[in-house]
Every structure is written in C-alpha cells, then in structure tokens.
Amino acid sequence: MWKGRFTENTAQAVQKFTQSLDLDWALASYDIEGSVAHARMLGSEGLIPPEEARRIEDGLNRIREEIASGTLVPTQELEDVHMNIESRLIELLGPTGARLHTGRSRNDQVAVTMRLFLRDRLRHIASGMEALLSVLLERAARHMDVIVPGFTHLQQAQPISMGHYWMAHFAAFSRDCERLLFALGSLRECPLGAGALAGSTLPLNREMTAKALGFASPTRNSLDTVAQRDYMADYHSFAVTFATHCSRLAEDFVIYSSREFGWLLLPDAFCTGSSMMPQKKNPDVLELLRGKTGQILGHFLDLLVTLKGLPLTYDRDLQEDKRGLQASLRTVEEMLAVLVPLLSAVEVDGEKAAEGMNDGFLLATDVAEYLVAKGVPFRQAHGMVGGLVKECLARKKGLFDLTGEEWKELLPEAGEDLFPLLSLRSAVERRRTYGGTAFDQVAKQIEDGKAFLENFRESFKR
C-alpha cells in the first residue's frame, strides 16, 4: 500500500516484527461493520457511484462469510486484518474495491474498529456483572439472619449479619458497575472521518456514519481522535478495581473456609485436591482469582507506560495497545464466569461461626456503649470495659461466663438491664444506624440493591 514511495520491498524480518494479525484478526467482523457504514456514506454523498457502494457492501458481506467459514486465510505480508480484508475486496471487485478507502486512513479505521469491538465486549461483561450482583442479593437475603464475626486487623471485632457481609461486596461491585458504564460512555463518539490526523478534503458525512454504527456523534477533534486511548484506560480502570475487589473477596473466602475458621463452606466442585495428601480440599479457584488480579493490573500499567511519552498524533507503539486489552478482557470474563456460580453455591455454617464467638468479647463495645447511655464519657467507659476484659482473661473466662456476682464485682455500674443486651443477636439487631448491620437495615440495603440492579440493567442495554 505504500510501494510508490519506496525503492525496496519490506524485509521479511520487518514484516514479521510489525504484523498484528495475531492481535486483530479477531476484529474482522467489526472492521467489516465499519467499512459497510463508510461505503454507504460514500455512495450517499456521491463520492463514489451508489451502484459501486452496493457492490462494495455485497463484497464485504461475502468476505465476512469467508472469514466465518475459514476459507479466507490472512497473510502476514498484508500486515493486519484491515489490509487483508481490503486486498480480498480488490481481488473480488477490482478497481471498485479500491474505492473503499476513499476519505479514510487506517488510523480512523482502526479507531472505529476498536471502539465497536470494545463496546460489544463491555456489554457482555455488563451482563456478567448483572449476574454477579444478582447472586450477591440472593446470598444476602438467604443469610441475613446468620450471625458471623466481623473483623478488623483479621481479629474478631463485632458480630454482624452475614447478609450485611454479602451486601458489602455488593456495594463494591456496584461501584465497579458505575465505572463500567463510564467506560461504555467513553465509546459514544465515532472516529470515522478523522482521517490520518487532520480530517479530509472530501465532503464526508461523519454524522451519517456515526448514526449508522450506533454512536451518539462524531469525535470532536481529529488529532485527539487518532492519538488518544482514554477509552481503553477507562476500561482498564474498571478492570483493575473489579479484579482487586474479586481478590479481596477471594482472600476472605480462603481464610473463612480454612480449618481454623471453618464457618464458610466452599462447594467441592470449585475446589481441588492434593496429589499427595488425601484429606486436602484446596481453594485453588479463589487463589487463581487473586493471582490473575496482578495480570490485569500489569496490562493497565503497560498501556499507561506506552502512552506517557508519545507525541501527537499516531505512533506505531499504539499497535500494541490491543495485546493487553484483549488479554485483560479475556481474564475479566473468565473471572466472572467462575465467580458467579461459585458464590451461588457457597454456604455458611452459623453454628460453627457462633462457636468462634462463644467468649462474648465481641460484645465489649456494646457494654461500653451501655455505660455511655448511662452518662459515662466514652473514653472512661472504654477504659472500664478494657479492664473488665483484662480481668476475664486473667480468670480464663469470657463475658458470657461471668456470673451476676462477678459482673457486680468487676463492673459495679452494670445493672440488670445490661444482661438482656448480652447476646450476639441483640448486638446485631441494635446496630440500626443507616447502613449498619441490623437485620432491618440489611433488608433495606437489599431493596436498594434491587433498585440499583434494575437501573444498571436498563443503562447498559440502551
């Protein structure tokens, strides 16, 4: 395509080094979609005869079928998917096929192909996120009345509803959904017509191609159009945060399902065994969710490092933006494909969880707040209850083990009205601050979550 300027053919080593077919042959259907819209616009505006525009469209549809059937095999000499398709079109139509590139550069051609591809994949991921949110809501409702320990510093802190725990992850993943919608929104402009960098001297109808391809409008600056990869960075930003949330959830599950904790029950179908130790049940899926998070972070860093030193407008470095993007997309889709059914099969052993809280020390804050309600300043109450816990440890007793006489000895301010409060269920029920773990608050979170899910579903299907 550039032989007119050069006196030598491209060296085979250069052809091999610069080809991108391993990255972009999968984009063929999206390239054809963009080319059909471009051909229709050229015919409509009289830039090529309408009959030739129709022949080009028919030829592109034939090439689409050849690619789907495997009869069209790309060649490395033609460098990328775009030139392979155009070369085949010229084989089929002769000079008519050569008219397709009128008013178009590979720069804006690649840009629209990538946006069409990414838009399709993000909508698929959005369906997976919808399923993820749905299963979290179902788990929250199922386990709302189950009480488990909540942790800070991986030390037991206060009792919580397991439904509250599930809704914590729902909140995190719902923010990911908002980031995903933002990434989809960054694809709303159509690059076709930007040309190599400065637009075209031909009267292209950019609004027509934008509308035909489902974009809200054409891009606003041709230089920025071919240079920017913000829309990819927006996807990677979603992917990194989503993967991080998956990794934190996986870490929780690895810990809570261990023998030392044992109250979270993983389905056998999502675990593996040991080649040597017959008793083992390994949480390999969860560990791989953690491990793949680093890959997704690496792909984002790869893009940012590539972009940070590039002058306007197009530079060949940008060819490599597809490699990390496609790998990240695959990984996110794989993570969703395994995470949703895994969560739907996880169970919670409430009795086992309660055994781990049978010393009652998780209620120390409740005792301090009881004193606060009696007029004791909080810092003073905190010190008094800290001393109570210290004495319990010395006597090798828990709060639940203290007799009435011992309560009067160790905390004279404690009245008979304290004792009904000293239960895990009471501790959870009374945390009714907005967003707290009380059962009625968790029920409200679930209802709000259902409304969010419905809005999200409508948003990404527009």
- For 361-451, the fitting CATH number among 1.10.40.30, 3.10.110.10, 3.30.70.1350, 3.40.50.300 is 1.10.40.30
Proportion of the chain above pLDDT 90, given as a percent: 94
User: What is the distance in angstroms between the CA of the first residue and the CA of the last residue of the chain?
Assistant: 39
Asked if the model's pLDDT at residue 20 lies above 90, the reply is no
Q: So what's the architecture of 3-102 in CATH?
A: Orthogonal Bundle (1.10)
pLDDT in tens, 74-88: 999 898 999 999 999
What backbone torsions phi and psi does residue 114 show, to the nearest 5 degrees?
-65, -40
Active-site annotation holder among 105, 134, 153, 247 = 153
* pLDDT, position 200: 98
pLDDT in tens, 280-293: 999 999 999 999 99
Q: Provide the pLDDT confidence category of residue 432 given band limits of 50, 70 and 90.
A: very high
Proportion of the chain above pLDDT 70, given as a percent: 98
Catalytic residue at 274?
yes
Task: Work out the average pLDDT over 206-228.
Answer: 98
What residues contact 95, with CB distance under 8 A and at least 6 apart? none
pLDDT in tens, 323-377: 999 999 999 999 999 999 999 999 999 999 999 999 999 999 999 999 999 999 9
Task: Work out the average pLDDT over 402-428.
Answer: 96
Q: Is the pTM of this model over 0.85?
A: yes
Residue 384 CB coordination number (10 Å): 18
Catalytic residue at 382?
no
Secondary structure of residue 272 in the 3-state scheme: strand
The structure tokens listed for 72 are 């069209």
376, with CB counted inside 10 A (0-12, 13-18, 19+), is middle
Please choose, from the candidates 265, 297, 7, 230, the residue with its C-alpha nearest in 3D space to the C-alpha of residue 148. 265
Asked if the model's pLDDT at residue 444 lies above 90, the reply is yes
Asked if the model's pLDDT at residue 304 lies above 90, the reply is yes
Q: Please, where in the chain does CATH 1.10.40.30 lie?
A: 361-451
Helix runs in 19-161, H state only? 21-24, 28-44, 50-69, 81-93, 95-98, 106-142
Please choose, from the candidates 247, 137, 123, the residue with its C-alpha nearest in 3D space to the C-alpha of residue 177. 123
Active-site annotation holder among 222, 274, 275, 299 = 274
* pLDDT, position 460: 79
Q: Which fold has domain 107-147+164-351?
A: Fumarase C; Chain A, domain 2 (1.20.200)
